Amino acid sequence: MKQILLVLSTAIVLVSGAYGNEVQHESTHEVHWNYDENGPANWGKFSETCQIGEAQSPINIIVNETKGIDKSDILKLNESIETKASIADNGHAIQVNIENGGIIRVDGVNYKLVQFHFHGLSEEEIDGAHTDLVAHMVHKSPFGSLLVVAVLFNEGKTAQPMIQTVIENVGKSVEIDPSTLLPFDTEHYYHFMGSLTTPPCTENVKWYVMKEVESASKEQIAALRTFYDHNYRPVQPLNGRVVESK
């Protein structure tokens, strides 16, 4: 009897030992997507949609090939609201998480701002050209559908006040008015259907790219790029999608 117990307990130790090692192995060597060795060309490993999706973002917007906007796709912006926000490095971008965001209304559906984040070169191209930075303002409807407003920036003489607030408060919580990130002209934009530009690359995202390119100072662009300077996915095939223009 003693002998059987000894054998049994040895077996349990061996099994739990092996299991323990496996868990440790997985947690210390977990593979995560990034913009380097596990970059955009390999994101299919993390979500199949990134590889086989046919309506992916970002895209190159060829201005001459856009068409007039459908009335049902016109934005009603109501972003001006004072809200608490926490500014964090999410491991891929500097992201501003919004506690109580403003609303964008499209075709009878309200989309509420949940966060905005920055890419160190714009992901979207206009006639084949990037801009120096882009902010993506991510909105969510009560049904969970997503709408992203892209705000483009190029290096210019003037600093952008909201970008300055972000740079000075990474890791902190602040009171902000997210509408101050938007350009003066919010009446003109491109619209298309696309996806999240990071895994899981979920599709059916409504994209709106503001036409007015804002100015950010050289120092601001450099400061944001000290965190991430190549966190942009290359443009994806249109696969027959049409870009609307207003």
Residues with catalytic annotation?
A: 92
Which span (12-20, 132-140, 186-194, 232-240) binds Zn ion, by CB under 5 A? 132-140
One of 130, 136, 139, 233 touching Zn ion (CB under 5 A): 136
- How many residues bind Zn ion, per CB under 5 A? 1
Angle at CA 187, nearest 5°, toward 196 and 144?
30
Residue nearest Zn ion, CB atom distance = 136
> With respect to Zn ion, which residue has the nearer C-beta, 77 or 121?
121
Q: Which is nearer to Zn ion, 136 or 206 (CB)?
A: 136
The token pair that represents 202 in the structure block:
């979920």
Q: Find out whether 114 and 97 touch, Cβ atoms under 8 Å.
A: yes
E-state strands within 46-132:
60-61, 67-68, 75-78, 83-89, 94-98, 103-106, 109-119, 125-126
The alpha carbon dihedral of 53, 58, 62, 68 has a sign of positive
66-95 residues in contact with Zn ion (CB under 5 A) are none
What are the backbone angles phi and psi of residue 241, rounded to the nearest 5°?
-65, 145
Q: Under DSSP, is residue 74 helix (H, G, I), strand (E, B) or coil?
A: coil
Tell me 62's DSSP state: -
Report yes or no: 83 and 101 within 8 Å, Cβ to Cβ.
Answer: yes
State in angstroms the smallest separation of the CB of 244 from Zn ion: 20
- Judged by CB under 5 A, the stretch of 6-14, 71-79, 107-115, 135-143 that binds Zn ion is 135-143
Q: Which is nearer to Zn ion, 106 or 135 (CB)?
A: 135
Closest CA to 122 of 135, 110, 104, 138: 135
Give, in degrees to the nearest 5, the angle at Cα 149 between 144 and 153: 150
Residue 231, phi then psi, degrees to nearest 5: -90, 55
Q: How far is the CB of 196 from Zn ion (least distance, A)?
A: 8
Looking at the Cβ atoms of 151 and 176, the one nearer to Zn ion is 151
Residue type present at position 204: N
Cβ 162 to Zn ion shortest distance, Å: 16
Query: Which lies closer to Zn ion via its Cβ, residue 179 or residue 198?
Result: 198
- Least distance in angstroms from the C-beta of 32 to Zn ion: 17
In angstroms, give the least distance from the CB of 119 to Zn ion.
6
What distance in Å separates the CA atoms of residue 234 and residue 123, rounded to the nearest whole number? 7
- Give yes or no for residue 206 binding Zn ion (CB under 5 A): no
Report the interface residues with Zn ion, using CB under 5 A.
136
